[in-house]
Structure 1
């Protein structure tokens, strides 16, 4: 028999798999600009009256510096999302990718002003600025994706010798200037009805109150395993709702509204605190106690570090990935209980927010901006008890292979590896 084998055909790509992978990549690329938000939240918080301001240390000038610094990030979130996504989405991105995104966004942003909804007015006592269609963060995301795709397609392009100076990477920012013009014209003409749909959806979600908060919590956790939860996070935290602060600036999204003093903000953030600070650490304890005796010490050490990470910072993925795929029934329970926490906290009038995640750092740092923040502790303790009981019962009842309960041969393989 011949050792030669006929070449095998490449497996056919499943319909929609490319789109799904692309959406996952977009979701991952959103993490880069989102990582800037903690800096903005901390700076803005330090500039509040009760910290460095008149009701705190009384250092008004220092408070103004911090508040202005924090506002610089929040006011330019569309630009940050554009550049961050361009770098995160493009393969082997470099500085020219960021420059191309920046050029495209600046042109796009200025073109939008050529389509005013209402012209600027000079009135007695106040000047009214012109208003125009502005997709805000969503526009930044679109421009970032276009910049990434354009860079990947043209960053190695060779032009005729007499245009050789503009070869490759130098060509992409030029292309993005023209693309930014076209996108700006497009959004300037058609964004109004699209924006109305988003506004109406946001009003519908906020109008649902506790139910709306619960729906968001369930969808957020349901999309986490495939890395697409950042889509709904971006809409809820950066787009839904509007608030005019005392200076007259208008802020959109649950997160900026919370940090600029909107007492109605926090609908899509508050309920995560009981889960991340109390419930998931309790789930980690249940996994430890359900482990076999000879594995309990090793599992306990790992789960302790994961629980502390969740409690202090609100980073929950390490715990969730410990049971998400090997015991999906636990993850379904977790998603439903997260929805319940979101609904309960909002129904009880608890309003809280975070710049990074719902951990102890944000909980205490933003205490004075919150409404009834103390209630998160008893609510969290109740959810901790529920999580511990449900997780331990489910693991033992259905013999789920959570850490410490793997088959013996798997443990031996891991030990030898």
Structure 2
């Protein structure tokens, strides 16, 4: 049961991250639009900013549920079904809308719009159709459903006279009737679920700054399991992250609220509390404190080498918001350090919330851009340098103290001769036990496949921001010695049949190289 849950969670995490990556790009563009639309800007600049914002607001933010549906369906589907899954995703989404509206009409339960439109009625307008208002939950549920159905029944075979309707065409027939039944049943079930969601939101919002601490703490604690997506995604895009009425429209989720406020910056008199989830020093100041502590506690003769390793990881965190290459340097080495890091991460969000910093940032780039999007008295951007220093210093002090007091063998604190000897031995082994293949394949790629038990042991492989996520058929064939000692990575997460190799920002290219190597081996064996 545990293995099935971990596998399902891993698959869902990989699927949900792909649509979200486009939202991050949208956020940057909208931030620039907000700056162009400031009162001090010329009329032409304001018109351009408002024009682009209105397009993205309606075409991206307003249709996020549909985007999740198609994106998740395609991401979950097996490679040979991805195109059909994407098509079935949008078909299923539209079928739900029309079936749900038809049932509300037949049962005479269509809500009537009031002064605030359909807000508070449990119904909303999607693609111009009045339906049960499920927000992005609808897209997520339907996307998962389509992905499952395509993978489960995509191989259906029919009589030769009916063969044009086999495979994914048969899946479509099954999905059609299941979606209609779901659209009918949800009109009775969702109001109950929505009531529970509102209760959870009420509990969270009354927790105040303490709620932001626990969010930050759990965000890091769940990272090694790859389950942190389950925490921040609902807060960013669903009512769990807050609800706000902006310019006559209702928005759910912290990130959606932020984007809506960007588009209406001239009308905003106070920032919504949910923006606190988005003001995150975790990839900006905390990596600097960690890196400086690791460098400071390293042995004098190793400081230069340690700096050479740490500087790129801190730069990656600051510019791209990717902290895993740095965090995996100590994650598996010391659970105590990881727990302490999670606590400081939570405290940084608590402090940020208490002082009232209310602009979105999780990288240095969007921190700089977004600082100009709102007046300082609203976002309190002027406090960012102070909190930056405080949180970096806190992380540094905690790490330095623990490393010294507990004598933790972090980077650069090992015996130099042992490191050099093991490195030299590894270089010799690399020239001795690599299989004889075409020179176009890097040793790194060959060792990844060998460490995973060979091509025949790899069941599936995907990547997220920084990790190569692999499902293997037999965990006993996985050679952790090869993965840990010969594969250049920031860390290996061993979950039995589910292996994660932390590569960093170049993980997608690494995955493509591995796939090319696997294709080469398959072709060679066939010959």
TM-score by length of 1: 0.87
Q: 2:166 — aligned with what? A: 167
State the alpha-carbon separation in 1 of the partners of residues 288 and 113 from structure 2.
56
Partner of residue 56 from structure 1, selected from 25, 41, 49: 41
Does structure 2 retain, via aligned residues, the 8 Å contact 1:112–1:185? yes
State the alpha-carbon separation in 2 of the partners of residues 230 and 18 from structure 1.
18
1:330 to partner: Cα distance: 0.9
Q: 1:82 — aligned with what? A: 69
Partner of residue 13 from structure 2, selected from 27, 34, 38: 27
Partner of residue 366 from structure 2, selected from 362, 369, 374: 362
1:31 to partner: Cα distance: 1.0
Does structure 1 retain, via aligned residues, the 8 Å contact 2:88–2:172? yes
Give the gaps of 5 or more residues in structure 2: 125-130, 262-267, 428-527
State the alpha-carbon separation in 1 of the partners of residues 13 and 369 from structure 2.
28
Does structure 2 retain, via aligned residues, the 8 Å contact 1:158–1:167? yes
1:268 aligns with 2:277: yes
1:190 to partner: Cα distance: 0.6
State the alpha-carbon separation in 1 of the partners of residues 393 and 338 from structure 2.
17
Does structure 2 retain, via aligned residues, the 8 Å contact 1:137–1:238? yes
State the alpha-carbon separation in 2 of the partners of residues 304 and 218 from structure 1.
25
State the alpha-carbon separation in 2 of the partners of residues 242 and 399 from structure 1.
47
Q: Mark the CA change 1:413 to 1:47 in structure 2 (over 3 Å): closer, same or farther.
A: same
State the alpha-carbon separation in 2 of the partners of residues 146 and 400 from structure 1.
47
1:399 aligns with 2:407: yes
Does structure 1 retain, via aligned residues, the 8 Å contact 2:236–2:255? yes
Q: 2:353 — aligned with what? A: 346
State the alpha-carbon separation in 2 of the partners of residues 385 and 324 from structure 1.
20
Does structure 1 retain, via aligned residues, the 8 Å contact 2:337–2:402? yes
Q: 1:3 — aligned with what? A: none
Q: 2:319 — aligned with what? A: 312
Does structure 2 retain, via aligned residues, the 8 Å contact 1:266–1:351? yes
Does structure 2 retain, via aligned residues, the 8 Å contact 1:284–1:307? yes
State the alpha-carbon separation in 1 of the partners of residues 243 and 100 from structure 2.
20
Q: 2:100 — aligned with what? A: 112
Please list the CA deviations of residues 180-214 of structure 1 after superposition, one character each: whole Å capped at 9, or x if unmatched: 22322232221111111112211221221101111
1:278 to partner: Cα distance: 1.0
Please list the CA deviations of residues 305-347 of structure 1 after superposition, one character each: whole Å capped at 9, or x if unmatched: 1111112232212111121111111110011111111111111
Which of the pair has the greater relative contact order for Cα pairs under 8 Å at 6+ separation? 1
Secondary structure in structure 2 of the residue aligned to 1:266:
helix
1:251 to partner: Cα distance: 0.5
1:406 to partner: Cα distance: 4.2
Q: 2:259 — aligned with what? A: 259
Does structure 1 retain, via aligned residues, the 8 Å contact 2:36–2:48? no
Please list the CA deviations of residues 219-259 of structure 1 after superposition, one character each: whole Å capped at 9, or x if unmatched: 1111111011111111111112111121x221100111122
Measured on the aligned residues, the alpha-carbon RMSD in Å equals 2.4
Number of aligned residues: 394
Secondary structure in structure 1 of the residue aligned to 2:276:
coil
Secondary structure in structure 2 of the residue aligned to 1:244:
strand
Secondary structure in structure 2 of the residue aligned to 1:250:
strand
State the alpha-carbon separation in 2 of the partners of residues 400 and 174 from structure 1.
60
Does structure 2 retain, via aligned residues, the 8 Å contact 1:258–1:266? yes
Mapping 1:210-249, distance limit 5 Å? 210-239=209-238, 240=240, 241-246=242-247, 248-249=248-249
Mapping 1:182-221, distance limit 5 Å? 182-221=181-220
State the alpha-carbon separation in 2 of the partners of residues 153 and 319 from structure 1.
39
Q: 1:17 — aligned with what? A: 3
1:98 aligns with 2:86: yes
Please list the CA deviations of residues 66-114 of structure 1 after superposition, one character each: whole Å capped at 9, or x if unmatched: 1123212111111222222222223325211211222112212333334
Give the gaps of 5 or more residues in structure 1: 1-14
Partner of residue 56 from structure 2, selected from 62, 70, 74: 70
Please list the CA deviations of residues 344-384 of structure 1 after superposition, one character each: whole Å capped at 9, or x if unmatched: 11112221214xxx111111222224610221221121111
